[in-house]
Amino acid sequence: MSSTRSYARPALPDGGRRLAAFLAALAFFLSTVEYMLPRPVPFMRLGLANLPLLLAVDLLPFGSYIALALVKVVGMSVLTGSLFSYVALFSLAGTLASALVMRGLRALAGPRSLSYVGLCVAGAVSSNLAQVALARVFVFGDSARFMAPAFVGLGLASGLALGAFTQAFASKSAWLAGILATPSAAEASAGGSE
Partner 1 sequence: MRRPPATRRAERRERWEGAFDPTRLALTGVLLSAVLLFQPTLYGRTAILAAAAAAAWASGRRLSPLMTVVVMAGIVAANLLVPIGRRLATIGPLVVTETALLAGLEKAVTFEALMFISKACLGPALTLPGRFGAFFGDALRGYDRILEHKGSVKLDGFMRRIDEILISVYDGFQSGGDRADTGYRGRPTSLRRGDPALAVVALAAAASLLIR
Partner 2 sequence: MPLIRRAGARGGRGGVKVRWLDALIVALSAALFVCLAVSVYGGPPSSVLVITSGGDEWIYQLSQDRVIEVPGLIGVSIVGIHDGEAHIDDSPCANRTCVASQPIRRPGEWAACLPNGVFIRIEGEDIQDEFDAFVR
The interface with partner 2 within residues 107-136 (CB under 8 A) comprises 109-115, 117-118, 121-122, 125
Q: What distance in Å separates the CA atoms of residue 92 and residue 120, rounded to the nearest whole number?
A: 17
**Stretch touching partner 2 by CB under 8 A, among 29-37, 46-54, 72-80, 139-147:** 139-147
166 by DSSP, 3-state: which? Answer: helix
Chain centroid to CA 163: how far?
10
Our CB check for partner 2 shows the closer of 32 and 113 to be 113
**Stretch touching partner 1 by CB under 8 A, among 91-99, 114-122, 149-157, 172-180:** 172-180
The interface with partner 1 within residues 80-99 (CB under 8 A) comprises 81-88
Q: State the binding partner of 74 from partner 1, partner 2, none, CB within 5 to 8 A by kind.
A: partner 1
Choose among 169, 157, 155: nearest CA to 55: 169
| 106 neighbors 58 (Cβ within 8 angstroms) | yes
| 52 neighbors 24 (Cβ within 8 angstroms) | yes
Question: In the 8-state DSSP scheme, what is residue 48?
Answer: G
Contact positions vs partner 1 (CB under 8 A)? 14, 17-18, 20-22, 24-26, 28-29, 32-33, 36-37, 67, 70-71, 74-75, 77-79, 81-88, 138-144, 146-147, 168-169, 172-175, 178
